Amino acid sequence: MTATTRVVIVDDHEVFADAVTVYLSDYSDLEVVAIATSAARGMALLSTVPFDVMVLDLALDGEDGLTVAREALRVRPNAGIVVTTCLDSDAHVVEAVQLGVRGWVPKTSTAATLVDAIRGVGRGETRIPAELLAAALMTLTRGGPIPMEPSQGVGELTSRELEVLGCLVEGLSRTEIGDLLHVSPNTVRTHVQSILHKLQVHSALAAVAIARHAGVPGAELSAARH
C-alpha cells in the first residue's frame, strides 16, 4: 500500500491554496492536512500539525517565506519544502538551497509539475528547475559563502560517507543510493546527516557544491552495481 504524503500549504493567496487543495484531493497518496494564509499562521502549525511536505509561498503578504522554511526545517528536519513563487532570482534560490529547500515550482507551472515536486521531495529527491539549480550551485561553489575550507570538512568524512557524497554529486536520491550501496534508506539518511554536520551545511545541495569545489568524484555507478 502506498504511504500517504501529508501536505501543508502556506500561501497568503487563499484562492491559490484552495485550488491546490482541491487538485491534490484527486490523488490518493497526497493529503492536505492544513492551510495557513500568513507567515505567523504557518509558524503556529509547525508544532501542532504533523506533515511531510510544506508547499510554501516565497512572499507572504510582504514577509519572507524562507523565514518559515528555516523554522520548519529546524522543528522538523526531515520535512520537505516546496517553494511556489513568481520570483526566480539567483539570490533567492541560493538562500533556499542553503536552508535545505529541495523543491522550487514557479506559479506559472502546471498543477502536474507541482504534484511531481511534492511527490519527489517527499521521497527525499530534489525538484528545482535545472537552470536555477545550476546557477545556485555555481554561486555556492564560486562566489557564495562556503562556511569552511572544503578540503577540511571533506577530509573528516569516512569512506562510506564519501561514497554517499559521490552519489549525491551524481544526483541520486536517497532511495537510489540505498539500492546502489545495498543499505536501507534510513542508513543513507544517517550518513547524509553526518555529512552535513561535518561539512557544516544544512542541505545536500550545499554539500554537493562543496564536494565539487573540493574535487570529490561522482560515484562509479557501473562499478558499484557489480
Rounded Cα gap, residues 3 and 20, in angstroms? 20
Residue span(s) of the chain under CATH 1.10.10.10 come to: 147-224
Rounded Cα gap, residues 115 and 29, in angstroms? 10
Statement: the pTM of the whole predicted model exceeds 0.85 = no
DSSP for 107-144, written as a single string: TTS-HHHHHHHHHHHHTT--B--HHHHHHHHHIIIIIS
Residue span(s) of the chain under CATH 3.40.50.2300 come to: 5-138
Paired residues of 59 in beta bridges: 64
Indicate the CATH number for domain 147-224.
1.10.10.10
* pLDDT digits 0-9 by tens, 86-145: 866 667 787 888 788 889 998 888 999 999 999 999 988 888 887 777 767 666 665 554
Superfamily of domain 5-138: Response regulator (3.40.50.2300)
* pLDDT digits 0-9 by tens, 130-151: 777 776 766 666 555 444 444 4
Q: C-alpha cell of 2?
A: 502506498
